[in-house]
Amino acid sequence: MRRDVFQAIADPTRRAIIALIALQAMTPNALAEHFDTSRQAVSKHLRILTECELVKPENQGREIYYVLDIQKMKEVDKWLEQFRKIWESKFSQLDHLLLTIQNKDKK
């Protein structure tokens, strides 16, 4: 089953894993130390993130390190950008309205 990137990042644990991996490549064991859950549970989250291509496993000797796939994160950011522009526009309109109200109250 192909998983959706947005389903993957909907989970708070997976978002936390992404945040950790964004700082540096990490092994499943190193990641598991940051959570009150089993290594198997972390591995399941990593599998989902890998299926969505948000992280990539890289072999280094006998260890597997997970790294963030920047390109996939850029796709998520690009999708969010359209909403960011809408929110910024709405906040600008609200700022303008508040200034107008303040100026009327001062008169």
Query: What is the C-alpha to C-alpha distance for residues 23 and 58, in angstroms, rounded to an integer?
Result: 16
* Longest CA pairwise span in the chain (Å): 74
Taking the complete model, does pTM exceed 0.85, yes or no? no
Indicate the CATH number of 1-68 among 1.10.10.10, 1.10.340.30, 3.90.45.10, 1.20.1260.10: 1.10.10.10
Roughly how many angstroms between the first and final C-alpha of the chain, as a whole number? 64
Q: What percent of the chain has pLDDT over 70?
A: 97
Q: Are 46 and 82 in contact (CB under 8 A)?
A: no
The pLDDT of residue 2: 63
- 27-59 per-position pLDDT tens digit: 999 999 999 989 999 999 999 999 999 999 999
